[in-house]
Amino acid sequence: MLQVSFIKENRDSVITGLQKRGFEEPEKTIRQVLDLDQRRRQTQMVQDNTLAESKSISKEIGMLMQQGDKEKAEEVKKKTADLKAKSKSLGEELGKIEEELTQLLYHIPNVPHNAVPSGRNAEDNTVVLEHGEVPELAQNAKPHWDLIKDLDIIDFELGNKITGAGFPVYKGKGARLQRALINFFLDEAVAAGFEEVQPPIVINETSGYATGQLPDKEGQMYHIQDEDFYLIPTAEVPITNIYRDTILKDDELPIKKVGFTPCFRREAGSWGAHVRGLNRLHQFDKVEIVQIAHPDRSYEVLEEMSEYVQGLLRKLNLPYRVLNLCGGDLGFTSALTYDMEVFSAAQKKWLEVSSVSNFETYQTNRLKLRYRTGDKKTALLHTLNGSALALPRIVAAILENNQTGDGINIPEVLWKYTGFEQI
């Protein structure tokens, strides 16, 4: 979340940034933040003075007792009792103000970077670059939801029987292709200097708040009520939380982690003809890369992560484009996001397969994730993450773009993982 000190020092630019996002009534919200902060500081000052006065009177009582003036000491004690009651009341008031301020800050999104274009929705995103040739398919080419049924490699009906819509069963070469992609993505990340971790796929509420999924995405996450746990929407959450309440040394940076997990999203209200097949699921597999970087280098790191994900798409021989997301399409916690989309030749449309984002200090303020500066003080770090990659739409594009009269040709880079060149 945003720091109050940052809001105070950059009030106008914060309001302008929130307006770029389409955030409702930013001036009113920021005024509420500053008013609450002023009330908090004033209440804290009164409480501090009350405690100081109480401490001074306690010393006076001790001196009176030493002097044998018990009568005056008892008289002064009554004043101490009043001050203690006042201090308790002030403490309770201070706690309420701080909670109200924290809850308000939780609902304010990150301020977009200056490079984020203005716009309301995905139609206003800016195309940064395009790469690769879009394949020309035969007239009888099929979308992936027909191909997987013909080849019997992914079964939606069986998944619906076992669980419900959006939980497919991968079978035979479909399951092996899925595993091949996971291993390929992990091996590539390790070779690029990322340390592999295998985190829990269930998180507690604190972890959800720390990376910004709560309260913003609460309705999109599966909640285990008895334990108050959540199924993760992405490996970003548990991996980043490894460093919650941590102070890192400058020479430990950047931190580079990669992890494979299943991901779970309710995707409430998002179903329709445009999300058929693998285009949108409730459960899907994803390899996620996370970096914790020095603030001075985070945008350089963002460009490196973008190029890394693009390299994976080039190795898979998939035509892709990179988008700079506009303010209205930017994720709640992100300061700047690049989306990578592959072209699905049979569907004749672009499919998002990765988002690479810089959150600046938005997550680290919640995480209390800092580093020690040269003058021995501490400062907040920057966090970044990206899908590298999410599997469902990658699988969809591979199946559709590589279909022939004989079957599906597998990208050569995957042969050593699949053990076959064609389905």
Please choose, from the candidates 422, 326, 357, 331, the residue with its C-alpha nearest in 3D space to the C-alpha of residue 121. Answer: 326
- Domain of 45 in residue numbering reads as 4-106
- In this structure, is residue 423 part of a structural domain? no
Residue 313 shares a structural domain with residue 406: yes
- In this structure, is residue 198 part of a structural domain? yes
Residue 209 shares a structural domain with residue 322: yes
- In this structure, is residue 134 part of a structural domain? yes
In this predicted structure, the answer to whether residue 392 has a pLDDT above a threshold of 70 is yes
- In this structure, is residue 378 part of a structural domain? yes
pLDDT digits (tens, 9 = 90+) for 132-182: 999 999 989 999 999 999 999 999 999 999 999 999 999 999 999 999 999
Q: Domain boundary at 106, 140, 160, which?
A: 106
Structure tokens at 276: 């058929």
- H-run or E-run covering 91: helix 70-106
- In this structure, is residue 361 part of a structural domain? yes
- Confidence class of residue 374 from pLDDT cuts 50, 70 and 90? confident
In this predicted structure, the answer to whether residue 256 has a pLDDT above a threshold of 90 is yes
pLDDT digits (tens, 9 = 90+) for 318-327: 999 999 999 9
Residue 251 shares a structural domain with residue 212: yes
Q: In this prediction, what percent of the chain has a pLDDT beyond 90?
A: 85
Number of domains present in the structure of the chain: 2
Residue 313 shares a structural domain with residue 403: yes
Give the pLDDT of residue 211.
97
CATH code (residue 75): 1.10.287.40
Q: Report the chain's terminal Cα–Cα distance, integer Å.
A: 47
Structure tokens at 416: 């050593």
Cβ neighbourhood burial of 268 (10 Å; 0-12, 13-18, 19+) = exposed
